[in-house]
């Protein structure tokens, strides 16, 4: 299963929890694992707090300070910082599923992280039932 995410900024964090849960609802999986994978080298996925929107901006602020856009990178395409950010955050998350719902903590959400936008991106979902 797959859905798209349209980003609007060079760096952006988008809550995709509802989209992942919607894909899960379309399946018959009641108990198992949900594998979320971002097939891009300049984007990532992570789980973090979804209650306070300032967490997303704080995360981007620090990530952009630690890995600035101008730092003498040699990659000819000019997006080395995006590749580094993607590697540090990671391309996948594995989430338990119980009673047809994602098992996330009270404040947790699943976030798509754009590091070289704006673009139209893909998010792949694979479901694994427990037997």
Kindly report, residue by residue over 35-89, the tens digit of the pLDDT. 999 999 999 999 999 999 899 999 999 999 999 887 788 777 778 899 999 999 9
Instruction: Categorize the per-residue pLDDT at 116 as very low, low, confident or very high, splitting at 50, 70 and 90.
Output: very high
Spatial separation of the C-alpha atoms in residues 103 and 7, rounded to whole Å: 26
Model confidence over 13-42: pLDDT tens digits? Answer: 999 999 999 999 999 899 999 999 999 999
User: pTM (2 decimals)?
Assistant: 0.93
For the chain, the domain total comes to: 1
The confidence score (pLDDT) of residue 7 equals 98
Find out whether 43 and 86 touch, Cβ atoms under 8 Å: yes
Range of the domain at 102: 2-70+77-129
From first CA to last CA, the distance across the chain in angstroms is: 21
The confidence score (pLDDT) of residue 120 equals 98
* Domain CATH number, residue 97: 2.60.120.460
The confidence score (pLDDT) of residue 92 equals 98
């Amino acid at each position: 299963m797959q859905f798209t995410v349209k980003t609007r900024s060079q760096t952006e964090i988008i809550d995709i929890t509802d989209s992942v849960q919607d894909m899960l609802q379309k399946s018959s999986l009641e108990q198992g694992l949900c594998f979320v994978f971002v097939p891009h080298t300049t984007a990532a996925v992570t789980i973090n707090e979804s209650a306070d929107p300032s967490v997303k901006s704080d995360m981007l602020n620090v990530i952009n300070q630690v890995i600035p856009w101008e730092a003498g990178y040699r990659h000819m395409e000019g997006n080395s910082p995006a590749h580094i950010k993607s590697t540090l955050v990671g391309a996948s998350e594995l989430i338990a599923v119980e009673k047809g719902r994602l098992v996330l903590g009270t404040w947790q959400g699943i976030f798509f992280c754009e590091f070289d936008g704006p673009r139209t991106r893909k998010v792949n979902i694979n479901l694994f039932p427990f037997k």
